[in-house]
Amino acid sequence: MNKLHIYGDHIDTDIIIPAQYLNVHDPAELKIHCMEAVDESFSDRVAVGDIMIAGENFGCGSSREHAPVVIKESGISCVIAKSFARIFFRNAFNIGLPVIESTEIVEDISLEDKLFIDFNSGEVFNETKNKTYEIPRFPDFMMALIQAGGVISYIKENDDV
């Protein structure tokens, strides 16, 4: 049963993964510190398939790719936020962490809601509230990155880059 982890606005990269731990880059070693400054028990509670929910400007601050990497490594299947900070957003695409930018979903859901995300149909189903939300479509270029499985595979497939 996937759970939701709900946070507020401006969750910065020092909250997601404090710089003091970045003397290593092994995701498995780093993930125990994910979100610890605002949610000490996150790494104990989180399970594979859980969904992270946040407000505006999620991932602001540093360019550290370790931030989306540890979220993904923690088992989070998707981050839904009202908006994302620029570098976090491109890092998430580049490493293949699914993200959804939707104020509607964030404002509507509650902690106990059960969500089903279907990127193929472009919909999120809220079983608890029996409601369906549309996932805003990403631009074609971003979709091509997703379909390729990240920017490295995209470059391998496109000789002109």
Query: Which residues bind to another protein, rule: CB under 8 A?
Result: 10, 12, 14-15, 18-20, 22-25, 36-38, 56-57, 60-66, 69, 83, 85-87, 90-91, 94-95, 139-142, 150-152, 155-156, 161
- Minimum distance from residue 24 beta carbon to another protein (Å): 5
Residue with Cβ nearer another protein (54 or 115) = 54
Strand order in the sheet with 99-101: 4-6, 51-54, 78-81, 99-101
Place of tokens 């890092």: 91
Phi, psi of 66 (to 5 degrees): -55, -25
- Minimum distance from residue 108 beta carbon to another protein (Å): 21
- Minimum distance from residue 123 beta carbon to another protein (Å): 25
Q: Among candidates 30, 32, 84, which has minimal Cα distance to 53? A: 84
End-to-end CA distance of the chain: 42
Residue with Cβ nearer another protein (68 or 117) = 68
Cα distance between residue 18 and residue 118, in whole Å: 32
- Minimum distance from residue 37 beta carbon to another protein (Å): 4
E strands in 41-83: 51-54, 78-81
Residue with Cβ nearer another protein (90 or 129) = 90
Q: Among candidates 55, 139, 159, which has minimal Cα distance to 93? A: 139
- Minimum distance from residue 21 beta carbon to another protein (Å): 9
Residue with Cβ nearer another protein (48 or 161) = 161
Residue with Cβ nearer another protein (32 or 37) = 37
